[in-house]
Structure 1
Amino acid sequence: MNLLPKVKHMEVRAGFLAKKVICPDVDGMDRRLAAALEKLPCDAAGTKLKIHVSGHGGEGYELIIGEAYIEISAESSAGAFYAIQTLRQLLREEQVPCLQIRDWPDFAYRGFYHDVTRGKIPKVETIKKLVDNMAYYKMNSLQLYVEHVFEFQETKALWKSAGYLTKAEMQEIDAYCRENFIDFVPSLSTFGHLHDLLEQEQYKHLRVFQGEERLPNFWDARMHHHTIDPLNPESFEVIKSLIDQYAPCFSSEYFNICCDETFDLKCYGEKGYDVGRLYVDFVKKIVDYVQKKGKKVMMWADIVSEHPETIAELPDDIWFLNWHYGDDAEGIREDVEKFSMSGKSQIVCPGTSSWNRFCEKTDRAEMNITQMIGNGYRCGALGVLNTNWGDWGNIGSLELGMYSMVLGAGKSWAADTEPDKAFYGMVNSLLYGAEDGVRALKAVSALQDRIKWTQVCKNYFLHRYNNGEGMEFLSGDEVQAIQREYLKISGELSGESWGNDEYRRELLLAAEGVCVMAELSAKLAGYGLERVSNTEEWLCKYREKWLEKNKASELYRIEELFLYYEQKACRAV
């Protein structure tokens, strides 16, 4: 049977469920459970389904299926909701055996973190579909990464060029999450990663680093020199204003203040300041302000890990988000163990490895997610926050990060989950509705491995603006290998139809995009290769798919790059 996450205990009994149509008893039921039951095949003549909720704590449940009845007993409404998700998956089977399932999660916090700041802002309906997926795989927390893409008054001048989410949209997402037993936690940059805010003329004086003008490579520039000055009293006033505008959109009791990668504080270190002291003093002010609003604080753990002497000064009830995105098993183990020895609460944060790409990097994601969550479980972490970043324009679709999301969901519920043949089969059935969906994903992932989006971008900025490092190109043989592999993938996928066919369509578009990248790079290098893709045709499809699911955001930047390559590029001298 295809069940994700896998269940803790299942006893299969004699006989089979006679009718896979359900007649639930909804009298007095939590309305959220009644809504969840509507996703089951229901009929007044169907199998009787009774749900008993014993309390308000815990997420465990028991599911019993007989030939003519179904019973759910749960510790809370959330537990009953997860039992319904298990039942939804069971009813997909050709025959449902009589059985008893007892199940509960290994981690209390099971979250997904999605970047909406770096170029692509999803529409509300896209986020709702993400929430549906998360609920199906028993996740219980969502965070959206926000720097400037909200209707902050301080960033009003950026709304037209970058796009933004409104208060009403955030509140709509919050309400939808609550209906699906998902806590929508606000996540806001409040110390580092404030580049676009601080690039505005009226706020430039609040940057720690004052020695650099705007670079043509906006994607790279956004990742550097983005720390607000903790010694300028105006800085905290700006941060308070951002929090005041953002916090009311959310019903969650938590608030993620981020405070990661405050690189530019080294400028003060060069002047003799204690960087750890500067950091922790400003963070304590932010923490105190958020706590006075009745919120519990989350924050990234990277800087306190660099300055362990400061962590004791921060309140014990902070949840520290300990991130590591590489595939170094020993490094991951050391990071998780080291933080566990601090005595502070940690959430382990792996990643989908989908940034800087059209398609998630499956080999690294599998290694990273399994190692981070496995070590987190061993070291007593409170939970998991699987991250989906959007560096360098967020060119990939949300669908092509979902395999890694599902792996994180499965392993955060059942920590012994591994990305093995059995897991692939369940993903093929439940996520893709295809016999070989995972194999196709891995083929496109391997194709993307052959050419780096970041290098394509750097070549563009150097050629167009004479800005950046030297160009690097694939060889003609490497480009031809990409063409051959693309044609193979395209030929196979074009002849298929999946149960969840949007994943197949996105894989086709991603594979074609990789081929376009390679061929345009060959053109810039002066190779005389015959093309098998068409830039403008692909870009038209890419734009249509983007706007179907997202706001325009910074799509124009990606279009400018590809059209420049197509129309202007010639051999660099």
Structure 2
Amino acid sequence: MQNKIVFVPQPKKVVYQNGFLPFEGFVLAQRKVFGGHTLTGLQPFIAANGVTLAAQQNAALGSQAYVITVDKTGVTVQYATQTGLHYAVLTLLQAAKQCKGKLPFMCVHDEPDFVSRGFMLDISRNKVPTLATLKKLVDYLSDVKVNMLQLYVEGRSFYYPSKAECYSRPDDYLTSADIVALKKYAEQRFVSLVPCGNCYGHMTYWLNQPQYNRLAYSPNGFDWSKDGLHCPAGTLNPADPDSVRFVRGLFDDMLPAFGNAGLFNIGGDEPFDTIYGEHALDDDGETYFSYMQQICADVRSRGLTPMMWGDVAHNHPDKIDRLGDVVYLEWHYDKGLFNDECCRVYAQKGARFYVCPSSGLYSSVTGKTDNMLANIAEAAYYGKKHGAEGMLNTDWGDGASSQSFVSSVYCQGVAACYSWNATCFDDGELQQWLNDNVYGCNLSAIVADLGRYVNLQKQKMNMIPFLFSALYIRGLDCMQVDYDNYSDPLAFFRRDELLTTDESNDTQAFLDDIRARLDSVDNGNLYCAEARYALDMLTWAVMHTRVCRGLRNDNPDVGLVRQTADFGEKCVLQHKQVWFARNKRSDYAKASFRWTRLVKKYRQLLSELTAKRK
């Protein structure tokens, strides 16, 4: 075999043999076996003079397993279920697209390491995708054999009819009609759409509406730390029966559109108001588990199995059994945090659990590539070792969902590969496949490297890269606190960190090199536009850092301030263009508020500096 076929994800076992099968297409020996979307995928490769494609049902195989044999007699696929047959066809089509005129003799034995391979997209940090974008996402997930999609709903990102007074334009958000259409579309492609929301913490938007504030555990908010970081109310009062009734009302509005989804991710994570501040609880988790028992019981009464984030349960393993049949979601987003101990907590209790790594795109624009690669690899390794039922890769939007679809595609490709085959991943092959089948140009390596700007920061990083922190949080005066942007956790942070001069120079040189590479491959498609937007945002951040350092040293460069203001205006326009290319209006005004205000501050600063020079 001279040319190895690039399979994404990599099958468990591929044995190439001497010889090739002349190939111009397929003749289906049993056309009726290949139903629905599986047949649709095959349709372009069906030819009257093609090779025979036979399908044989084999009950001894697992439900998602398959075997492909290519020899001189043709192609044979063995499968146990339609799901297995679908995955076999996906693999076969990857081979057919790469093999011009001949298929190599080979035998493929394949089956996933994780029964559930999911992707969770945060649609609650101001940005809600259009239905067309979500369908495109489903197409991609299906192609890489991901079988679960969750859309994280917090606040008003979903239109709740019983809360109609909180919406001026309901169609700007995810609607029940969107869910019904997406669910049907996804199921045709062997992807389940699982509802995902919250029920305890992360209720900030609702609890800061006047009519619901009385339900808050800390109605006036709480002090996160002693340095003045005050956060608004975000956690329901577990002692108030109306809190449970409120959550049930949210469920009543949202769940019917999902039909018999089987699972429901109810969140339950990070009840910060009960952890920090003067009213922090110290009751060994008793309040938490008592409250969550009520929510889980309600979910089961609807015929669904609750899934919930494991950050609280993990710290109280003696209480895990109290919640009954629950799928725990063990999440860690930095390398080195997945290990034997964190997975063994559930395995020893016989509890169902998933491992949940992250794309790492939140609070960064382009992510932290090397951290993401390690985080996902470790999640897959330890999850498989300790019997995790699934892997759910998360794409959070903290920082006003500043990332774009182009970066999510790459990160989710990595997770898809590891969740299918936990011990065999080739980043180069994934990048090649993405270039050929998704991006439409040699963009993958550029996307991956855009997430490596963080490596040039030598100062210790506290979760958020200094470059993003300076632009989004610090601004020009370290006072950019948006008290009404309840969807974004970063809206309440105050940070005053900047890159050093050397770090700024190294980062700019790094970005200049990427710009030259992007110029050489840019074919004008939307993916390239998104990559250019990301590159320009990071470039603006470097310029902004230099302006801030000049102001800090009382030596501002008027010319640099003018250039930074002009470049910032360009970035604001790019942000708007890439936003509306894939997303509803949703809360665009809030997501763009910091960028537009920062540009206005530049203009004001420029006016002041110019006046001083006169």
Residues 401 and 360 of structure 1: is their aligned pair in 2 closer, same or farther, counting only changes over 3 Å? farther
Output the amino acid matched with 1:563: T
Check conservation: 1:352, 1:387, Cα contact below 8 A: yes
Asked whether 1:368 is paired with 2:371, we answer: no
- 1-structure distance, mates of 2:546, 2:164: 40
Check conservation: 2:8, 2:417, Cα contact below 8 A: yes
The alpha-carbon deviation at position 566 of structure 1 amounts to 2.1
Check conservation: 1:324, 1:332, Cα contact below 8 A: no
1:502-532 CA-to-partner distances (Å, cap 9, x unmatched) read: 4443222211111112223433444426448
Which of the residues 113, 117, 120 maps onto 1:106?
A: 113
Match of 1:156? 164
Asked whether 1:566 is paired with 2:575, we answer: no
The alpha-carbon deviation at position 324 of structure 1 amounts to 0.9
Asked whether 1:519 is paired with 2:543, we answer: yes
Report 1:170-181 matches (<5 A): 170-181=179-190
- 2-structure distance, mates of 1:54, 1:423: 30
The residue matched to 1:400 in structure 2 has which SS?
Answer: helix
- 2-structure distance, mates of 1:523, 1:269: 39
Asked whether 1:45 is paired with 2:52, we answer: no
After the TM superposition, which of the residue ranges 81-90 and 334-343 deviates more from structure 2? 334-343
The alpha-carbon deviation at position 427 of structure 1 amounts to 5.1
Output the amino acid matched with 1:381: A
Asked whether 1:30 is paired with 2:38, we answer: no
Asked whether 1:233 is paired with 2:241, we answer: yes
Which of the residues 12, 32, 36 maps onto 1:8?
A: 12
Which of the residues 531, 544, 550 maps onto 1:507?
A: 531
Check conservation: 2:481, 2:494, Cα contact below 8 A: no
Q: How many residues align?
A: 563
Report 1:100-139 matches (<5 A): 100-139=107-146
Check conservation: 1:146, 1:188, Cα contact below 8 A: yes
After the TM superposition, which of the residue ranges 90-99 and 261-270 deviates more from structure 2? 261-270
The alpha-carbon deviation at position 180 of structure 1 amounts to 0.7
Which of the residues 500, 506, 518 maps onto 1:493?
A: 518
C-alpha RMSD of the superposition: 3.0
The residue matched to 1:193 in structure 2 has which SS?
Answer: coil
Asked whether 1:61 is paired with 2:66, we answer: yes
Q: TM-score, normalised by structure 1?
A: 0.90
After the TM superposition, which of the residue ranges 516-525 and 154-163 deviates more from structure 2? 154-163
Report 1:322-401 matches (<5 A): 322-328=330-336, 332-401=339-408
Q: TM-score, normalised by structure 2?
A: 0.84
- 2-structure distance, mates of 1:134, 1:267: 38
Report 1:54-453 matches (<5 A): 54=58, 58-67=63-72, 69-95=74-100, 96-148=103-155, 149-160=157-168, 163-212=172-221, 225-250=233-258, 251-266=260-275, 270=279, 274=283, 276-315=285-324, 317-328=325-336, 332-419=339-426, 421=428, 425=432, 429-432=436-439, 434=441, 437-447=443-453, 451-453=466-468
The alpha-carbon deviation at position 260 of structure 1 amounts to 0.9
After the TM superposition, which of the residue ranges 451-460 and 50-59 deviates more from structure 2? 50-59
Residues 465 and 52 of structure 1: is their aligned pair in 2 closer, same or farther, counting only changes over 3 Å? closer
The alpha-carbon deviation at position 93 of structure 1 amounts to 1.6
1:64-100 CA-to-partner distances (Å, cap 9, x unmatched) read: 2245632222111000110111012111224421222
- 1-structure distance, mates of 2:591, 2:304: 38
After the TM superposition, which of the residue ranges 5-14 and 383-392 deviates more from structure 2? 5-14
Output the amino acid matched with 1:538: C
The alpha-carbon deviation at position 393 of structure 1 amounts to 0.5
The alpha-carbon deviation at position 385 of structure 1 amounts to 0.6
- 2-structure distance, mates of 1:11, 1:475: 53
Q: Give unpaired runs (5+ residues) of structure 1.
A: none
Residues 359 and 259 of structure 1: is their aligned pair in 2 closer, same or farther, counting only changes over 3 Å? same
- 1-structure distance, mates of 2:515, 2:302: 53
Check conservation: 2:147, 2:190, Cα contact below 8 A: yes
Check conservation: 1:392, 1:454, Cα contact below 8 A: no
After the TM superposition, which of the residue ranges 271-280 and 303-312 deviates more from structure 2? 271-280
Identity %: 25
- 2-structure distance, mates of 1:64, 1:550: 43
